[in-house]
Structure 1
Amino acid sequence: MLARRPLVAFFVMAYAFSWIVWAPWTLGQDGAGLLPTRIDPALVGYLNATAILLGPALAGLVMAWVTGGGAGVRRLLARLVRWRVGVRWYVVALVGVPLIMLVGTMVYAGTAPALGALGGPGYLVSYVVTFLLVTVLGGPLFEEIGWRGFALPRMQRSLGPLGASLVLGVLWALWHLPEFLVPSWAASSGGGGLSGIVLFTLTAVTFTVVITWVFNNTRASLLLAVLVHSSIDTFTGTLGAIFPPEAVASAFPYMIGFGVVALVLVVATRGRLGQRRLEESPDAV
């Protein structure tokens, strides 16, 4: 049954596994819901990590096994170490993505960044350490096993790269819905309420278009998808240090930056987003 509708099964498991684990955190906020007391912050971090691991990562690995056995799981995990992709793609992931975010925030805020707030050369060391922690503990490593590792290649076969990016972007964003019940998380992700969720979803779609383009051009390298995702998450903290709080409390800066880049990529590639490069590498997926 699972093998007949692998994508449906994957998304159902990804949502169910994560939402069940998130439930104590989201229901226990401010004494509301089923739990009478506030969840301890240390437990929140544990629940978040567990929800990500048991959601897209576990769902992706289970479905890779269902559809391809042990060989399918090995093929999926092998793409996590596919690093011979060309230096320019590392530059895109590690430098280009932060630049997109920086320019988008400058346009939205109408002001230059206060670079002096970074504290000099020591900032780079701190950034690298934070980047590594975000990659492993913050979600990108395990999320991408599911979203780009299992789902994206299969969605592209039926929907094409642009259609797959649009649908996956929406589903990726809506997977975060329980977290919008937590005021602090909603505030840090563009705001709560319906308008905040819509803006977050649109921004996730623009992210997804860019990640799909990198993924396809690097022969389905999950490593590069993880690096792009990690750059987005990590550099968000840097923006908070060099711009006024009101400039980074919305998803609009990211929508501006990634929205323009995504539109350019769609037009420049005629919606193919590097799929030809992927098709030229039969061993890519």
Structure 2
Amino acid sequence: MSLTVQAPARLSWLHRHPLLAFFAWFFTVGQAFALAPHFVHTGLPDQVWIIGASLVGLLLPNLVITRLVDGPDALKRMVRSFVDWRHGPRWYLLAVLVVPVVATALAYLFLGVPADVPLSTLAGVIVVQFALNMFPNNWAEEGTWSGFIQARIQKRHGAAWGAVITAQLFTLQHISLVLGGPLMMGVLLMVFLSVMAIGYRFLTGYLWNRTGSLLLAGLVHATANTVATGSGFGDGGVLRHLYPGSMLATMIHLVAAMLVGLAILLLTRGRLGLRRTT
């Protein structure tokens, strides 16, 4: 009898503060993985540790807290949303093509005619980099940021402000990527990302609110990385090959996502597809 009474008491704090519990784990254990290459030399590519941060720091607490706070049915819904593919072609066009097309157009506008790279090489880059982005990393990463974090924040603050708040937390996740360089450059890059991430989270929030598919959210993240920075393995994404040596080419997908997200915000009048509830 005492166990029946005490178990809910031990979980009461978690029920009241699921996001706080999540970030207590993510910004300690999760970031320990991401920061490990700066302190431990194992010979492994840095991206291996980033994948560890996504799986152990993001996906694991997402599933555990969802189960403990919302129950087994909520966990089943969460898992199903990761493989929810039954949506019309327009959603796949939005998830897969819009940001890469806008990013490529911006690169052509600001950087001019790209280098002459064989189509077979570009096709190989797309296939390999997309696979390395999506399956070990961005699927789990975006499934947590969209389906757990942003979904909870927008319940309290609304869709638009939920995206803005989530964008700042999302930016902090990437602090390991700027360590080791000049301090001022790192600060400027983090500020830039914190602004650009707002539009990106408008886009992912809209997809989540309208479809409930974390597969589509993962596709947005993976294709955006594929067109620019790449997966962290190999020589980078498509624009890195087309504009070798250009820093703008590795970051222009962020500008593209910002523009697409702002357009969605305006078209949905700030609702981002979130339906009104009584």
TM-score range, shorter chain: 0.7 to 0.9
Answering whether residue 24 of structure 2 is matched by residue 12 of structure 1, we say: yes
Check if 1:103 corresponds to 2:101: no
Residue 22 of structure 1 pairs with residue 27 of structure 2: no
Equivalent residues in 2 for 1:126-141, closer than 5 Å: 126-137=125-136, 139-141=137-139
The gaps in structure 1 that reach 5 residues or longer are: 29-38, 281-285
Unaligned 5+ runs, structure 2:
1-12, 229-236
Name which of 46, 49, 55 aligns with 2:48: 46
Structure 1 segment 151-170 matched on structure 2, within 5 A: 151-170=149-168
Give how far 1:255 is off: 4.5
- Residue by residue, what CA displacement relative to the aligned partner does 1:77-119 show, whole Å, maximum 9, x if unpaired? 110111111111111122112112112323332x1333x31x1
Give the letter aligned to residue 202 of structure 2: V
* CA–CA distance in structure 2, aligned partners of residues 200 and 169 of structure 1: 9
Would the alpha carbon gap of residues 246 and 130 (structure 1) be closer, same or farther in structure 2, given more than 3 Å must change? closer
What is the rounded CA distance, in whole Å, between the counterparts of 2:189 and 2:52 in structure 1? 25
- Partners of 1:84 and 1:26 lie apart in 2 by 42
Show CA shifts across 1:213-266 (max 9, x none). Answer: 222222x10000000000011111101111242353663x33432332222221
Q: Note the C-alpha offset of 1:42.
A: 1.7
Deviations 1:22-49 (A, max 9, x none): 3431235xxxxxxxxxx24425343222
Cα gap change, 1:135/1:256 in structure 2, threshold over 3 Å: closer, same or farther?
closer
> Residue 215 of structure 2 is aligned with which of 198, 223, 228?
223
Q: 2 CA distance for matches of 1:106 and 1:215?
A: 31
Match of 1:261 in 2: 260
Q: State yes or no: 1:202 paired with 2:195.
A: yes
CA contact (8 A) 2:18 2:69 kept: yes
CA deviations 1:194-225 (Å, max 9, x no partner) are: 1111012212222111111222222x100000
1:135 Cα deviation from its structure 2 partner: 0.8
Q: State TM-score, norm by structure 2.
A: 0.84
Aligned to 2:85: 83
| 1:246 aligned onto 2:246 | yes
- For the Cα contact (< 8 Å) 2:243–2:249, is it kept in 1? no
Task: State the SS of the aligned residue for 1:245.
Answer: coil
Q: Is the 8 A contact 1:7 1:151 kept in 2?
A: yes
Q: Structure 1: how far apart are the matches of 2:45 and 2:259?
A: 38
TM-score (norm 1): 0.82
Q: Specify the alignment match of 2:170 in structure 1.
A: 172
* Aligned-residue offset at 1:125: 4.5
Distance (Å, rounded) in 1 between the aligned partners of 2:93 and 2:122: 19
CA distance in 2, matches of 1:122, 1:261: 28
Quote the Cα distance in structure 2 between the aligned partners of 1:196 and 1:245: 18
Q: Equivalent residue for 1:32?
A: none
Q: Distance in 2 between matches of 1:156 and 1:128?
A: 34
- Following the alignment from structure 2 to structure 1, what is the Cα–Cα distance between the partners of residues 205 and 152? 13
In structure 1, distance between residues paired with 2:155 and 2:47: 36
C-alpha separation in 1, matches of 2:243 and 2:163: 30
